[in-house]
Amino acid sequence: MLTVNTPVEQINKIGKATAKKLQKLGVQTAGDFLCYYPFRYEDFSRMVKIADLQAGMTANVRGKLEFIQNKRSPRQHMFITEGLVRDDSGQLRIVWFNQPFIGKSLHTGEIVSLAGTAQGGFLGLEMASPEYERLSSLASAGTHTTGIVPMYHLTANLTNRQVRFLVKSVIGLAFQVEDILPAAIQRTYHLLSLPQALQNIHFPQSPEMLERARRRLQFEELFLVQLKAQVKKSEFKSQRAEAIKFFDKETKSFVKNLPFELTGAQKKAGWEILQNMQKGEPMSRLLEGDVGSGKTVTSAIAMYNVALNKKQSALLVPTEILAQQHFETLTKLFKGVDISIGLFTRTSRKVVSLKSYDLQLNVSKETLLKAVKDDKIDIVVGTHALIQEDVEFHDLALAVIDEQHRFGVAQRQALRAKSGETKIVPHLLSMTATPIPRSLAQVIYGDLDISIINELPKGRKKISTFVVPEAKRAGAYDFIKKQIASGRQAFVICPLISPSDKLGVKSVEEEYKKLNKNIFPHLKIASLHGRMRAEAKEEVMQKFLSNEIKILVSTSVVEVGVDVPNATVMMIEGAERFGLAQLHQFRGRVGRSTHQSYCLLFTASLNEQTRARLDTFARSSDGFKLAEADLRQRGPGEVYGTAQKGFPEFKIATLNDYALIKQTKTAAESIVAAGVEKYPKLLEKIKDEGEYVVG
């Protein structure tokens, strides 16, 4: 007996060879067929009499084959299959090209159903290359020519006809598939039952039913991701964390002493974080803010309050350059405050006490580890080394992770596990400059609360962005010369480190040589890339920061977080090789002072779409808007796929339907609130689904 678990090779009419092909599509059992959703449909639901057919009309006609024959057309070097079909209203000429098997499989006198678009031919109305099938009677249901017909992604030598036929032969099993979505949720959100949805996703009764089927299946996918996140969140929240008291007076005075006024968005985000940490349950929050929106100082307010509570914070960053820079930034921000900060990377260790400004360089690892363990350091800034090495904290109460997309789940968990002997987990603040629209972030980071800084500090000038044609390259170099003459600095970004065979793709090594020798012989230029030793990188960054180096030729290592306010030109070679979000990150390296800044894009691509994409970028300076544009054009997998770990993969859901995302989130929350253990099937399902969500 056929069940959902029947292997495909045991299904009637499927041979070994076909089974192998199906395996390539991931279809191993009869049940898999049900979940092998079409990717599009042909609408043949208009059934007409032959006499009512008009040129340009796509429709289904049925009748008796008056004749059918194959003939060779020597002039056109092809086979032509010609036929004539008649119903009680008239007759229609049909023709296929180079498909002689059709002429052999259909026979004069048979009842056929045809679907396609009619066109005016030499001999009157005809249908060229229609979908066809034989029917036992004029009233029979068709599979390939009637109604809304599914089109599947195929693999070599499988046809839509085969797949359709096979799916149809097992579609009755839809009633055996277990429907795990709780009835109450199906009712609340007006969802089709699973069997109805499966039947209609393959063989829709109507466009409306197709839409409802799609919505039901998408709902389930999104719901499960959300549920998993919500379960994780509630488990995490059931642990204990230090309640961090908000020190009103001290915080106000810290903020007042900053060299700038916080933006409204910074204040709001800071407030959300402080509120969150006051509770005894652990915070798990994502701080999203465009490049240059001032996330560092926002997190510093949180770290300051932790220090005032006599507890420790860790600030984890992805690169040595950034660690160094954050150490210095915090040193400046906390000037005169009674706080001590440590820097811990693979190659560099420092400690500074800011009350008296006592800075120790080249601290030994042992000394630093001991100081951290003995609670002599309030804030430890570090790279991966911070989690890899056996750093023990005295009482870590807050872990801040900068540019969190560079870190995986395991690393975050390792950091959380560093809370020392207390068995109390630290609050977690993840920061990202990858602007992900809130609703999308709710799927990807469903287990995190989200704060967004959607406002740049006052006085920032819009960065003038141009796609520069190759003919104006010399002019661009002159422009850079002028900028440098007036005291500014420039970045030049290349897609590669070393020259490669890929024609026209610029590399740091080549460009550095060219610029240094031929273009800017009198200026100090340096190169920077990921293959350099950490000390060498740091030295270059230091010299660039102190304006000794005027032009920095670099790869995407400067993408993340680097802050050199005096730089005003960002020149990007091979711009087509970067995503919009990444280009936006590069652009964010300039425009960090009151000087007007510029972003110059060069591309070797003549592709129109690429041009359009770069033009979109040049026109918009809003990271969130760009992310949305990028998402529309390339889809989330492309935009965040490689950089973003833990991205869910969907069969049918998309991440563009924000209303549906919201509904599934609310639904998942309601299940967790009611107690997910009441739904053992759901629990089992989300356990099986693999690691979806980061946090």
Give the residue among 614, 604, 509 at the shortest CA–CA distance from 555.
509
Q: Could you tell which of Mg ion, ligand ADP, none binds residue 420, using a CB distance below 5 to 8 A set by kind? A: none
Using CA atoms in the order 479, 485, 490, 494, what is the torsion angle rounded to 10 degrees?
60
Q: Between residues 426 and 561, which has the closer beta carbon with respect to ligand ADP?
A: 561
Q: Is the CB of residue 429 less than 8 Å from the CB of residue 299?
A: yes
Q: Is the CB of residue 65 less than 8 Å from the CB of residue 108?
A: yes
By CB under 5 A, is residue 561 in contact with Mg ion?
Answer: yes
By CB under 5 A, is residue 103 in contact with Mg ion?
Answer: no
Binding marks (x or -) toward Mg ion, 504..543, rule CB under 5 A? ----------------------------------------
Q: How many CB atoms lie within 10 A of CB 635?
A: 14
By CB under 6 A, is residue 319 in contact with ligand ADP?
Answer: no
Window contacting ligand ADP (CB under 6 A); options: 54-62, 215-223, 230-238, 288-296: 288-296
Question: Which of residues 297, 308, 429, 575 is near ligand ADP by CB under 6 A?
Answer: 297
In angstroms, give the least distance from the CB of 262 to ligand ADP. 5
Q: Between residues 291 and 590, which has the closer beta carbon with respect to ligand ADP?
A: 291
Q: Could you tell which of ligand ADP, Mg ion, none binds residue 293, using a CB distance below 5 to 8 A set by kind? A: ligand ADP
In angstroms, give the least distance from the CB of 644 to ligand ADP. 18
By CB under 6 A, is residue 622 in contact with ligand ADP?
Answer: no
Q: Distance between CA 36 and CA 134 in Å, rounded?
A: 25
Q: Between residues 458 and 522, which has the closer beta carbon with respect to ligand ADP?
A: 458
The three-class DSSP label of residue 120 is strand
Binding marks (x or -) toward ligand ADP, 108..137, rule CB under 6 A? ------------------------------
- Name the token pair of 453: 């800084």
Give residues with Cβ within 8 angstroms of 38, minimum separation 6.
150, 151, 152, 201, 202
- Please give the residue whose beta carbon sits closest to Mg ion in the complex: 561
In angstroms, give the least distance from the CB of 383 to ligand ADP. 16
In angstroms, give the least distance from the CB of 633 to ligand ADP. 24
User: Which strand (E) or helix (H) includes residue 327?
Assistant: helix 320-333
By CB under 6 A, is residue 321 in contact with ligand ADP?
Answer: no
Q: Between residues 267 and 472, which has the closer beta carbon with respect to ligand ADP?
A: 267
Q: Is the CB of residue 199 less than 8 Å from the CB of residue 174?
A: yes
Task: Tell me how many residues contact ligand ADP (CB under 6 A).
Answer: 19
The three-class DSSP label of residue 119 is strand
Q: Could you tell which of ligand ADP, Mg ion, none binds residue 116, using a CB distance below 5 to 8 A set by kind? A: none
By CB under 6 A, is residue 563 in contact with ligand ADP?
Answer: yes
Q: Hey, which residues between 427 and 446 contact ligand ADP (CB under 6 A)?
A: 433
Q: Hey, which residues between 648 and 677 contact ligand ADP (CB under 6 A)?
A: none
By CB under 6 A, is residue 507 in contact with ligand ADP?
Answer: no
Distance from the first to the final alpha carbon of the chain: 45
By CB under 6 A, is residue 293 in contact with ligand ADP?
Answer: yes
By CB under 6 A, is residue 292 in contact with ligand ADP?
Answer: yes
Q: How many CB atoms lie within 10 A of CB 498?
A: 10
Q: How many CB atoms lie within 10 A of CB 507?
A: 22
Q: Could you tell which of ligand ADP, Mg ion, none binds residue 90, using a CB distance below 5 to 8 A set by kind? A: none
In angstroms, give the least distance from the CB of 567 to ligand ADP. 12
Question: Which of residues 60, 143, 276, 296 is near ligand ADP by CB under 6 A?
Answer: 296
By CB under 6 A, is residue 48 in contact with ligand ADP?
Answer: no
By CB under 6 A, is residue 457 in contact with ligand ADP?
Answer: yes
CA 157 to chain centre: 33
By CB under 5 A, is residue 116 in contact with Mg ion?
Answer: no
Q: Could you tell which of Mg ion, ligand ADP, none binds residue 294, using a CB distance below 5 to 8 A set by kind? A: ligand ADP
Q: What is the DSSP string of 149-198?
A: EEE----TT--HHHHHHHHHHHGGGGGGS---S-HHHHHHTTPPPHHHHH
Q: How many CB atoms lie within 10 A of CB 20?
A: 12
Q: Vertex 639, ends 634 and 642: CA angle to 5°?
A: 130
Q: Between residues 59 and 399, which has the closer beta carbon with respect to Mg ion?
A: 399
In angstroms, give the least distance from the CB of 350 to ligand ADP. 20
The three-class DSSP label of residue 259 is coil
Q: Could you tell which of ligand ADP, Mg ion, none binds residue 175, using a CB distance below 5 to 8 A set by kind? A: none
Q: Could you tell which of Mg ion, ligand ADP, none binds residue 342, using a CB distance below 5 to 8 A set by kind? A: none
By CB under 6 A, is residue 286 in contact with ligand ADP?
Answer: no
Q: Is the CB of residue 614 less than 8 Å from the CB of residue 467?
A: yes
In angstroms, give the least distance from the CB of 532 to Mg ion. 22
Could you say which DSSP state residue 214 is in? H
Q: Distance between CA 512 and CA 529 in Å, rounded?
A: 12
Strands 525-528 and 567-572: unpaired
Q: Between residues 25 and 262, which has the closer beta carbon with respect to ligand ADP?
A: 262
Q: Could you tell which of Mg ion, ligand ADP, none binds residue 263, using a CB distance below 5 to 8 A set by kind? A: ligand ADP
By CB under 6 A, is residue 294 in contact with ligand ADP?
Answer: yes
In angstroms, give the least distance from the CB of 356 to Mg ion. 28
Q: Is the CB of residue 618 less than 8 Å from the CB of residue 467?
A: yes
By CB under 6 A, is residue 406 in contact with ligand ADP?
Answer: no
Q: Distance between CA 316 and CA 413 in Å, rounded?
A: 13
Q: Could you tell which of ligand ADP, Mg ion, none binds residue 266, using a CB distance below 5 to 8 A set by kind? A: ligand ADP
CB < 8 Å & 24+ apart, contacts of 207-212: 207/43, 207/45, 207/148, 210/41, 210/148
Give residues with Cβ within 8 angstroms of 360, minimum separation 6.
350, 351, 352
Q: Distance between CA 235 and CA 233 in Å, rounded?
A: 5
- Please give the residue whose beta carbon sits closest to ligand ADP in the complex: 294
Backbone φ and ψ of 369, nearest 5°: -60, -40
Binding marks (x or -) toward ligand ADP, 224..263, rule CB under 6 A? ------------------------------------xxxx
The three-class DSSP label of residue 41 is strand
- Name the token pair of 184: 């109450």
Could you say which DSSP state residue 47 is in? B
Using CA atoms in the order 656, 662, 664, 669, what is the torsion angle rounded to 10 degrees?
150
By CB under 6 A, is residue 295 in contact with ligand ADP?
Answer: yes
By CB under 6 A, is residue 35 in contact with ligand ADP?
Answer: no
Q: Between residues 352 and 371, which has the closer beta carbon with respect to ligand ADP?
A: 352
Q: Could you tell which of ligand ADP, Mg ion, none binds residue 262, using a CB distance below 5 to 8 A set by kind? A: ligand ADP
User: Which strand (E) or helix (H) includes residue 124?
Assistant: strand 124-128
Give the residue among 408, 397, 402 at the shortest CA–CA distance from 286.
402
Backbone φ and ψ of 558, nearest 5°: -85, 0
In angstroms, give the least distance from the CB of 269 to ligand ADP. 10
Question: Which of residues 266, 340, 345, 568 is near ligand ADP by CB under 6 A?
Answer: 266
Which residues lie near Mg ion (CB under 5 A)?
A: 561
Which residues lie near ligand ADP (CB under 6 A)?
A: 260-263, 266, 289, 291-297, 433, 457, 561, 563, 565, 592
